[in-house]
Each structure stands twice: as C-alpha cells, then as structure tokens.
Amino acid sequence: MKTVTIGIIGAGRIGKVHAENIAKFVPEMEIKTIADPYMSEETVEFLRRLRIPHIESDPELILNDPEIRAVVVCSPTDLHAEYAIRAARAGKDVFVEKPIDYRIDRVREVIAAAREAGVRLQVGFNRRFDHDHRAVYEAVRAGKIGDVNLVKISSRDPAPPTIDYVKVSGGIFYDMMVHDFDMARFLAGSEVTEVFAYGAVLVDPAIGEAGDVDTAVVTLKFANGAMGVIDNSRRAVYGYDQRVEVFGSKGAVMDSNDTPHNAVLHGEDGSLTSPCYKIMWDRYTMAFAAEQQAFANAILRGEPTQVMGEDGLYPILIAAAATKSMKEGRPVKLSEIQ
C-alpha cells in the first residue's frame, strides 16, 4: 500500500485526536513526527503508545524534513496561518485546523501561499465527513430532493466552554456556528449572500458579561435562491444535538442524533431510548478519521482536497456578517464584508 509520510504540528487536544485517529484508522498515512513545545509527560506517553517514531518539541524538524510530504497543523489558532504558510512554502500539502484565522486577510494569505506553492490545502471542517451528514449531502447531490429550497441546521452543545475561553473565542459565530456556516454551504451547494442574526443570553449571564451570546438563530439567503436557518445553543442537557435537514422541490432529507446504543426500554411511563452522546469526541471520532483519510486519498490520487482554502474563508466571512447583523439589528449582505 502506498502511504503518505506526515508530520503533525501541535499535540494539544485536537492534535492528539488526529494523531490517534490517523494511527488507528488511516493506514495510508505514516506519522513520522509530531512536534509541540509544550507536552506533558502523559501526552508523550500517549503518543508513544501510538508508536509515533519522532516526538519532538521543535516544529522546524517537520517543516525542514524532506521526507515529510504533508503537514497537519493543530497549533493554537493564532499560529494556524503561520505554520500553514510555512509548510506550503516548504512544498508540503497542508491540512489546517479550523478556523484558519479570525482575520480575513490572513486567511487569504494562506490560500494565496498554497496556490503559489502549488500544494494542497485542506481545512478541518470534519463534520462534512460525518456519516449521517454525509448521507444527507449525498442524497442532495444525487438530486433526490430536487432543487434545494431550505437548509435547516440545529447545533447545540452539551455545556458552554469556560468564560476564559469565551473571551478569546471570537464569539459564538466564529467559534461555534462557523461549523454550521460551512455545513450550510456544503448542503445548499451555493454561496450565502445575506445573513440575519438574532442572539440572546439564556444559558449563563457571565457569557453576556464577556460580550458574547449563548443562543443564536441565524437566517441565510443563498445565491441559488434557497434559504437557510441555523440555531445554536451553548447548552443542551440531553447531549450533543446536531441535526441537519434539507428541503427541496422533490422531497426532504434529514438526519438525527447518533446515540451510544439503540436499545429501547418500554415501561409504564413510556418508551425510553439512550441519551445522545454527551461529548463531541464520541460523536465525531469517525468523522475526524474520515477527513484525514480523504486528505490522504487526495494526495495519493493527485486530486484536489474536498475542503479547500475557500471553504475555510467563506464561513469566516459569514461569521463576520452575522456578528455585524446582530450588532446592527439588520440583515447584512456578504458583499458588505468582502
């Protein structure tokens, strides 16, 4: 089997997720090196058990290694762009975690760097590779629902992040709904042209004091005439709630939440099923694996990636428009942002 030798920059939460999934599920990838200047002993031990041969503190060892063909950038967000650009300039295909950057110009620089270097760029919108959302996407693309009229997305997290995180997150539209903006474009097969956002603080007043909202409903207009609506909440006590629905001229297709098992208990008070998954890593493990598999396949087959640089840019533009809409209390056209 042909394999791609890769390096991973960053061994934080998401870096470890990718390292583990690649090691377990992506035989076409060979992790030669993972580098992070701040690794605990537990992290080193964890990476050793994955049999990664080089566990280093200096990312330069990846960027300068001619054997490494592709780089997976899992650094802190504010360094995403820098490492992506440097990896591209070193001639390596680049997978970069989302968001590429909160600054639109910086995102454009990354896209430009990859284009100039002639390397692949894939952005970490893993939900596109989730088995359920993917099946919805494929039904839409196969024409099973005809022309798309409406895209509906619910996305609710089990519990809010820490207030410290909220303060640096860029706000709910950049941090959380950005995934749904990507999903909306993906499912609609068209670009968003206008956005209207309502937000509220219903979960925790401290989130409001930090300048953010914790509940939001955003409506979208797409270039193809379709409409969209996304709702987000930072707290769903019943677990990770993520459902999509696409309605069209010939039907509708929708998914529901995965659960740890499908046993149903029938009792006097009704029939009880399992709660949803309570954490994202359980819900999306295989989606993280599938996005790396797709990255490997793109490289080995000489094809473009499935989530290209522009796919990293548009959700940021929409997030900017939504933020502006909520602040100004009016619909905002994407052309006002670009």
In the complex, the smallest distance separating the C-beta of residue 60 from its own copies, rounded to whole angstroms, is: 28
Q: Which long-range contacts (CB under 8 A, 24 or more apart) does 74-81 make?
A: 74/8, 74/9, 74/10, 74/11, 74/12, 74/14, 74/15, 74/18, 75/9, 75/10, 76/10, 76/12, 77/101, 77/102, 80/110, 81/106, 81/107, 81/109, 81/110
Least Å distance between CB 240 and its own copies?
Answer: 12
Kindly state the smallest distance separating residue 335's Cβ from its own copies, in Å. Answer: 14
H or E element that contains 89: helix 77-89
Q: How far is the CB of 261 from its own copies (least distance, A)?
A: 4
> What residue ranges in the chain does DSSP mark as E strands?
4-9, 29-35, 54-56, 70-73, 93-96, 121-123, 148-156, 192-200, 215-222, 227-233, 241-248, 251-254, 264-267, 270-273, 332-333
The DSSP result for 251-306, as a single string, is: EEEE-----S---EEEETTEEEEPPPPSSHHHHHHHHHHHHHHHHHHHHHHT---S
Give the residue with the Cβ less far from its own copies, 113 or 172. Answer: 172
- CB of 266: closest distance to its own copies in angstroms? 4
Q: Which is nearer to its own copies, 142 or 164 (CB)?
A: 142
Query: What residue has token string 């390596």?
Result: 92
The nearer residue to its own copies, 71 or 276, going by C-beta atoms, is 276
- Of the pair 149, 306, the CB lying nearest its own copies is at 149
ω before 205 within 30° of 0 (cis)?
A: no
Query: What would the two tokens of residue 150 be?
Result: 């409406």
Which residue, 229 or 308, is less far from its own copies as judged by CB?
229
* Residue with Cβ nearer its own copies (145 or 313): 145
Nearest-approach distance from CB 38 to its own copies, in angstroms: 22
Please tell me whether residue 210 adopts helix, strand or coil conformation.
coil
Least Å from the CB of residue 34 to its own copies: 17
Secondary structure of residue 221 in the 3-state scheme: strand
Identity of the residue, 11 or 216, whose beta carbon is nearer to its own copies in the bound complex: 216
CB of 24 to its own copies, least distance (A): 4
Please say which residue, 85 or 287, places its beta carbon nearer to its own copies: 287
Q: Report the alpha-carbon distance of residue 71 to residue 68 in Å, rounded.
A: 7
